[in-house]
Chains A and B, each alone.
Chain A
Amino acid sequence: MKVIEVSNLRKRYRDHLAVDDVSFTVEEGEIFGVLGPNGAGKTTTVECVAGLRTPDSGTVKVLGGLSGTELKERLGVQLQSSAMPAKIKVWEALDLYASFYRTPADQGALMERVGLAGKRDTPYGKLSGGQQQRLSIALALIGGPRVAILDELTTGLDPQARRDTWELIEQVRADGVTIVLVTHFMEEAERLCDRLAVIDSGRVVAVDSPSGLISRAGGQQRVRFRPSGTFDDAVLGALPEVTGVRRDGGQVEVTGTGDLLLAVTAAVAAAGAVPADLRVEQATLDDAFLALTGKKISA
């Protein structure tokens, strides 16, 4: 079932076109990523989905076409840079936000879920960045939503807090909440998302799974090693998996596709040498992004 359908969305701010003909759909139960560099129009897009901005043209259909209060009852949103008053305690914030919804989630269970049960009486201002983000997620989930939009969730968090947050998101999805994740972190998108919309300059460049995007970018792999003994490069060049062989000092670099590693090691062994210091480099989402947009994303 499609929970979000966006078609031909367009939104102009005074001097620039923030969102230019964006279309995508989000299926129930998936983690859908909206990936792009800063200023690509990601936030504007999800703000239109959340009903916080009115698009200039195009349509947004959430959960079969809910709008207004009905939409906000079923859609949890965690926006970028929205703080809470410094002196509000964790339980008070949850209690207050729970009172905004008709059928709120259980506060105690939610506090456990986001790992803040021990911080119940801690004021917002005294929480760490990661804990503040966890509270933020909890506030987006307190209404018991079917869909949650999480915008730039892990920006500014240290690597450990970031991994903890990722784990939390996977658990939330396991609870049956569809998640739209806005991010400019490749690693985050690759790790969490079932599918991704790559957005650049207000346009959708591609929608695919992370591995689909990577293979679209050519799916090139690179195998590097230092051979013990000599052999003819032609041995490698003749392999169907190999697209290129290069020697750099004592090091051999082979590029290609498919089962490249197996083919190369077997051929080198057959030629009577042993590949030492063997390393494989897969193409990453970064490479895919570069191939799709011609830009490097700035982290």
Chain B
Amino acid sequence: MNKMILTEAKLFLREPGGPIFAILLPLALLLGLGSIPGFQTADPALGGQRVIDTQLPGMMVLLSVVTMALTALPGTLVAYRESGVLRRMSTTPVRPVRLLVAQVVNNVAVAVVATVLLIGLGNLVLGVAVPRSLLAFAGVFLLGSASMFGLGLLIAAVAPSAKAAPGIGSLLMFPLLFMAGMWVPREFLPDLAQRIGDFLPMAPFAQALRDTWAGHAPQPLHLAVMAATVLVTGVLSARLFRWE
């Protein structure tokens, strides 16, 4: 298993477009937008927070996770199915599901690197506080990432072609990101939109990241929605995944 993860990691680094995008874009956005003076002043509408306190860094963590989970992972897996990589592996004593695991591990690793850089450079350059309850933040990060990668696996399961997979990912990603507050903080969305967002897979993740960043406990509803997403996408992708 270690050899498979290592091999996939090497392949990953030889085609660094995806990972670089998932790391550099959120980082550039954080540092770029974060230096706008308006985002550095307390806003009563955000409960007295500054945009750079939790809204902006939380969104950027989310962006790096969903980039890997919803576009990079399904693209690779569907290409592996299309070109017969999974089929060839199914002729060996090792089950091809291990390749899926290796892929998820590598994609999560990129999101972790991105998150560490966002927290570290955000702190050093912009003075953004490190998440107050680091353990709770890490827990939310893992649960939320599991739900996003579950969604990614589901896309890989149903996408008809390697060309279509990232497209389906983006199609799903943008409305969900909107509900999660990527372009307009959730606080500024109408109540109904906020309420609906609570029950969609991405907004609870975003909100829980921001909550734990600020040192608050995440809302139980948000944790429940994330856990349910993991469960549903996990079961569905296990059922629907085609190896050839």
Contacts and interface: CB of A to CB of B under 8 A. Distances in A.
Given A79-B87, A84-B85, A99-B3, A92 B94 contact: no
Size class of B's contact patch? Answer: 10 to 19
Interface size class, chain A: 20 to 34
A160 interface: no
Given A82-B85, A99-B4, A123-B14, 4 more contacts: A87-B15, A88-B7, A96-B7, A97-B92
A202 interface: no
Interface in A55-103: 69, 72-73, 76-77, 79, 81-85, 87-88, 92, 95-97, 99-102
A83 B10 contact: no
B47 interface: no
A72 B93 CA distance: 5
Contacts of B41: none
A52 interface: yes
B84 interface: yes
B88 A79 contact: yes
B84 A79 contact: yes
Contacts of A100: 89, 92-94
A294 to B, nearest CB: 33
Nearest to A123: B14
20 contacts: A52-B90, A72-B93, A76-B91, A79-B84, A81-B84, A82-B83, A82-B84, A83-B83, A84-B83, A85-B80, A88-B11, A92-B7, A95-B3, A96-B3, A96-B7, A99-B4, A100-B93, A123-B14, A143-B92, A143-B93
A235 to B, nearest CB: 61
Interface of A: 50, 52, 69, 72-73, 76-77, 79, 81-85, 87-88, 92, 95-97, 99-102, 123, 139-140, 143
Would you call the interface of chain A mostly helix, strand, loop, or mixed?
loop
Interface string B77-105: 00010011101111111100000000000
Contacts of A96: 3-4, 7
A105 to B, nearest CB: 13
A199 B91 CA distance: 23
Given A85-B11, A96-B4, A73 B93 contact: yes
B128 to A, nearest CB: 37
Contacts of A84: 83, 85, 88
